[in-house]
Chains A and B, each alone.
Chain A
Amino acid sequence: MNREGALSRRSFLRWVGAGAFGLSWLDYLTLHAEELRKAHKACILLWMSGGPSQFETFDPKPGAETQGPTKAITTAVPGIAVAEHWTKVAGVTKDLAVIRSMTSKEGNHGRATYLLHTGYTPSGGVVHPGIGSVVANELGPQDFDLPHFVSIQGQSVGPSFLGVQYAPFVVSEPNRPPDNLATPVAGPRLERRLGLLDELEGSFARNGAAEQVRDHQALYRQTAHMVLSPRVRAFDLAAEPAKVRDAYGRSSFGQGCLMARRLVEAGVTFVEVQSTGWDTHGNELATLKKLIPPVDQGMAALVADLKSRGLLENTLVIWMGEFGRMPQINLTGGRDHFPSAFNLTLAGCGVKGGQVIGATDKLGTAVAERPVTVPDLFCTFCQLLGIDPRKENQSNVGRPIPIVEGGEVVREVLG
């Protein structure tokens, strides 16, 4: 695709014609995929919507009264403890960098989600693009037949002024391929239909709607390219052996992680997989007992699988939510929002694993060492992915906006 997201006619025909040269579709595309995979970096964001409690995830305070009844467990890395229930993640801590000193001022879900997706606090005027769209825009390969940015089980944050070709393609249920992806008529008939459609659009284009017709045609070419591409099988988990599907766990989240791996393998640049329900204001223990195991299993399986396939070195995996939760357990047995000290985890793409960065105090009431702001975090993402954080894009309010404003790379992440 060129910068406007329009697929050039030539490249479209190139795909269509591949079969004519004696090279099977699959051979041709497998070769190309190899090149793509080696050449470009990708990112998978595991988004914990609601704000996961650091006490019950990766910054437990065993013995402190603020910890509550959740115990801590040791992990594969001596000295790094995580909350109980995270037994599988405990097994892959050698590949993880845990940042325990995240801090922000946004305690409202909408605003904090925006902040942790864009690196900016929402202001009334500019609508900033989400990290998925930014990374897709920077790293997405030309002439690619799948969407650059896929969001599984959530809407994520959109591309704003970067353009609709960097909008997330939303998959609402990973256990079945996205709706309407399969063409109900054979490929040649679809192409014939598209040719007729092209001709019929002429009259409207000449009667005042040239711009609209052009955009519509570009969208249709992009969509048709995806529909006709064998690479679209990346969305079909039935192609995966049952053993692998079981390893990720048959939950939606687990299967979402598996789909993320397949998509990244196929050349998709950014995949977000959402888990909802972390906003545990009440009845926290019972809720987390059900919520954690699928995420624990999916996340650990993803990291291990990426590693064993040689993909981890070029794929950044991020686990995070919009804020943490309070040190005090409230009257309904839950914790309320707490942005001033929260945690997240990184792996892959140059991240030095097996380490903890920063710390909160003994009771977990504040950051004690090495605070990391959200702009710092975003500068770090850029560094790992090979993106210039100060690069400016033209915004919707007529002034250029850098990818990240302020902040500094957290050098410890790179080791």
Chain B
Amino acid sequence: MTLRWLRMRGACESLVMVLCLGIQAQGADAPRSVVAEVEMAKQIDAALVKAIGQAAPLPSLADDATFLRRVSLDLTGKLPSPKEVEEFLADRRPDKRARKIEQLLGSEAYAVNWGRYWRDALTYHTPASGNYLRWDLFNNWLVEQVRKNRSWGEIVTALVTATGINDECAPVNYLTAQFGNPIEIAGTTSRVFLGVQIQCAQCHDAKTEPWKREQFHELVAFFGRAKIIQHKDVGGRATPYAIEGRVEGQYQMTAKRDISRLIAMPPRFLTGESVSMEASDQERRSALARFLTSPKNPWFARAYVNRMWTALMGWGFYPGVNDLGASAEPKFPEVLDLVAKEWTATGYDMKWLFRALANTEAYQRRLVPRPNAESADMPQPSVCPNRLRPEQVFEAMVRALGFDENDKSIPAPAPSEAPAVSRHTGLRHMIYYAFKVDPSLSVDEVQGTIPQALLMMNSVLVNTFVAANGKTFLADAIAKNMSEEDILLGMYERTLARRPTGEEMNICRRYLQKVNDRKEALEDVFWSLINTTEFLTKR
């Protein structure tokens, strides 16, 4: 038994390596026109301005505090520390924003943040249990790929071609999390990596897209010889699942008019490229990986660029990230094409894209409202508000309230039925569970829920740490005889990473005067700041 495990593990890793080298070799030979990121950023800005014409004046640049909070959240999932804010505001260098972007991209928090993003994007919808989805292993593997700045093409290849046991070979979890079901896997692969919702053509020709039923099932056929195996009772390993190749057999589609008739499907990609029906499991999936990541495939780069653009800007070239639609017209198509083309030429370098986007003026301008989804209005070349993701909410709360995540004295009631998505325990789990959301949902579709509001309003966690007694910021500030003004500044700094405006200070002072009990009043202000929209929103 042991020997088999070792052989399989070795097989999984060496296979992935072989494929990676293969991809790299291709990339190195391909003609390169890698544009430096800062130059790319300038080109993006120019293209945006050209597209909207000179009709309306451009929004002004965001102030430093706003930019710093925004870029810290986007790249690292955390707010800047008070010291960082102070230093950044005091920094006189003209390129300080570019330097900050660089610094954040080099941090461990960047890898953790984006590893988690992909973990959620890839597994959010599966009801799979812990046996089918090795949550921590998968998470850590994704974080590692981001940390090493592995090419996105290589990452996708590793996921699609993974073979082995899921508690040893982390990328296999992409397949086992979907129960090894080739239909689900093909549908997810197409949706997440290509932005093509071809799964609606599973039963009939797609109604709103040009996909034919056969095309969906030809895509599924690439996974047609992969099978899922359950390994029972393997000493101390619970029940791991594995993906192995079938030696023979074909994926079959039910004939539409006669459901007792099955038609063997050739593995053929959306671009028409195909492999032989005699191809083995690995040959099929390697071919699919090549077709997916090929520069000839128009959707691969567009889907990723659109997704990252949406995550940073709060609006996208397409209304959603899941559905680029073969016939939908994107906004700013020339910008999308430009970025997609250049990013492809880098070999799908993830950091390159973040640098290029974050260094645009568009990304650094002040917040503007999101245009109505139905309207034909062009979005302004700036950033729209976007909600913090669950782990970002947690980080923001730790910073604002100053609690220890492992503090067992604070109740963190765990729901009796936690879905496979949540694997944390304690306070992080509690926040994560309350705020969990599919990262692929369009910005318009994500809204606050009552349990979230209840948590922010009434939880022991929030109310304990906004209190003026105990080991809290406020208790400490009062004990130190801090001035009212300094306390208010401190609260704004901790919660929103900025100074209050003159008007906000007046509102707070008026409130403090109105309420008889000074301690209570200060607690109320602190409470209010945590419960603002802004606390949960990227500005």
Chain A interface: which of B140-148, B151-159, B290-298, B526-534? Answer: B526-534
A155 interface hit (Cβ, 8 Å): yes
> Which residue in chain A gives the minimum CB-CB distance to B507?
A199
- The docked-state distance in angstroms from the alpha carbon of A183 to that of B524 is 14
B413 interface hit (Cβ, 8 Å): yes
**A-side interface residues, number (CB < 8 Å):** 62
Q: Which of A109, A209, A226 has the most CB of B within 10 A?
A: A209
**B-side interface residues, number (CB < 8 Å):** 60
> Which residue in chain B gives the minimum CB-CB distance to A202?
B503
- Please name all residues of chain A whose beta carbon is closer than 8 Å to the beta carbon of B2 when the two chains form the complex: none
- The docked-state distance in angstroms from the alpha carbon of A51 to that of B191 is 29
Asked if A219 meets B385 with Cβ closer than 8 Å, knowing A123-B200, A154-B417, A208-B369, the reply is: no
- B504 x A203 contact (CB < 8 A): yes
- B181 x A108 contact (CB < 8 A): yes
- Residue from B417, B450, B534 in contact with A147 in the complex, judged by beta carbons closer than 8 Å: B450
B368 interface hit (Cβ, 8 Å): yes
- Please name all residues of chain A whose beta carbon is closer than 8 Å to the beta carbon of B323 when the two chains form the complex: 125
- The docked-state distance in angstroms from the alpha carbon of A213 to that of B534 is 8
- A121 x B203 contact (CB < 8 A): yes
- CB-defined interface of B497-539 with A at 8 Å, one 1/0 digit per residue? 0000101100110010001000010001101110111101101
A238 interface hit (Cβ, 8 Å): no
- Please name all residues of chain B whose beta carbon is closer than 8 Å to the beta carbon of A192 when the two chains form the complex: 515, 524
Chain A 153-186 residues near chain B, CB threshold 8 A: 153-155, 163-164, 167, 169-170, 172-173, 178-185
B331 interface hit (Cβ, 8 Å): no
- A173 x B415 contact (CB < 8 A): yes
- The docked-state distance in angstroms from the alpha carbon of A71 to that of B504 is 73
> Which residue in chain A gives the minimum CB-CB distance to B59?
A208
B447 interface hit (Cβ, 8 Å): yes
- A173 x B416 contact (CB < 8 A): yes
- B127 x A180 contact (CB < 8 A): no
- Please name all residues of chain A whose beta carbon is closer than 8 Å to the beta carbon of B449 when the two chains form the complex: 164, 167, 219
- The docked-state distance in angstroms from the alpha carbon of A173 to that of B459 is 17
- The docked-state distance in angstroms from the alpha carbon of A110 to that of B127 is 7
- B201 x A124 contact (CB < 8 A): yes
- The docked-state distance in angstroms from the alpha carbon of A124 to that of B460 is 41
A223 interface hit (Cβ, 8 Å): yes
- B198 x A124 contact (CB < 8 A): yes
Report B434 CB to chain A, min CB distance, Å: 9
- Residue from A172, A184, A223 in contact with B450 in the complex, judged by beta carbons closer than 8 Å: A223
A75 interface hit (Cβ, 8 Å): no
- A220 x B520 contact (CB < 8 A): no
- The docked-state distance in angstroms from the alpha carbon of A184 to that of B454 is 11
- Please name all residues of chain B whose beta carbon is closer than 8 Å to the beta carbon of A180 when the two chains form the complex: 451, 454-455, 457-459
- CB-defined interface of B187-223 with A at 8 Å, one 1/0 digit per residue? 1000100000111111100101000000000000000
- The docked-state distance in angstroms from the alpha carbon of A207 to that of B419 is 37
A373 interface hit (Cβ, 8 Å): no
- Residue from A185, A216, A397 in contact with B448 in the complex, judged by beta carbons closer than 8 Å: A216
- B528 x A200 contact (CB < 8 A): yes
B472 interface hit (Cβ, 8 Å): no
Asked if A193 meets B527 with Cβ closer than 8 Å, knowing A180-B454, A207-B539, A219-B453, the reply is: yes
> Which residue in chain A gives the minimum CB-CB distance to B198?
A124
- Residue from B127, B187, B524, B533 in contact with A189 in the complex, judged by beta carbons closer than 8 Å: B524
- The docked-state distance in angstroms from the alpha carbon of A149 to that of B453 is 17
Report A312 CB to chain B, min CB distance, Å: 28
A396 interface hit (Cβ, 8 Å): yes
- The docked-state distance in angstroms from the alpha carbon of A167 to that of B369 is 26
- Please name all residues of chain B whose beta carbon is closer than 8 Å to the beta carbon of A182 when the two chains form the complex: 458
- Residue from B413, B448, B531 in contact with A215 in the complex, judged by beta carbons closer than 8 Å: B448
- Residue from A110, A163, A164, A200 in contact with B532 in the complex, judged by beta carbons closer than 8 Å: A200
- B367 x A181 contact (CB < 8 A): no
- B453 x A223 contact (CB < 8 A): yes
A286 interface hit (Cβ, 8 Å): no
- A203 x B503 contact (CB < 8 A): yes
- The docked-state distance in angstroms from the alpha carbon of A194 to that of B458 is 12
- A200 x B197 contact (CB < 8 A): no
- The docked-state distance in angstroms from the alpha carbon of A223 to that of B537 is 19
- CB-defined interface of A288-315 with B at 8 Å, one 1/0 digit per residue? 0000000000000000000000000000
- A226 x B450 contact (CB < 8 A): yes
A28 interface hit (Cβ, 8 Å): no
B463 interface hit (Cβ, 8 Å): yes
- Please name all residues of chain B whose beta carbon is closer than 8 Å to the beta carbon of A207 when the two chains form the complex: 366-367, 539
Report A110 CB to chain B, min CB distance, Å: 6
A276 interface hit (Cβ, 8 Å): yes
- Please name all residues of chain B whose beta carbon is closer than 8 Å to the beta carbon of A210 when the two chains form the complex: 369
- The docked-state distance in angstroms from the alpha carbon of A283 to that of B453 is 43
Residues of chain A having any CB pair with chain B under 8 Å: 108-110, 121, 123-125, 147, 153-155, 163-164, 167, 169-170, 172-173, 178-185, 189-190, 192-193, 196-197, 199-205, 207-213, 215-217, 219-220, 222-224, 226-227, 252, 274, 276, 396-397, 399
The 8 A-B residue pairs with the shortest CB-CB distance, nearest first, are A124-B199, A208-B367, A124-B200, A172-B415, A180-B454, A223-B453, A216-B533, A164-B447
Q: List 8 A-B contacts (CB under 8 A).
A: A124-B197, A155-B419, A173-B415, A192-B515, A196-B507, A196-B511, A204-B534, A222-B450
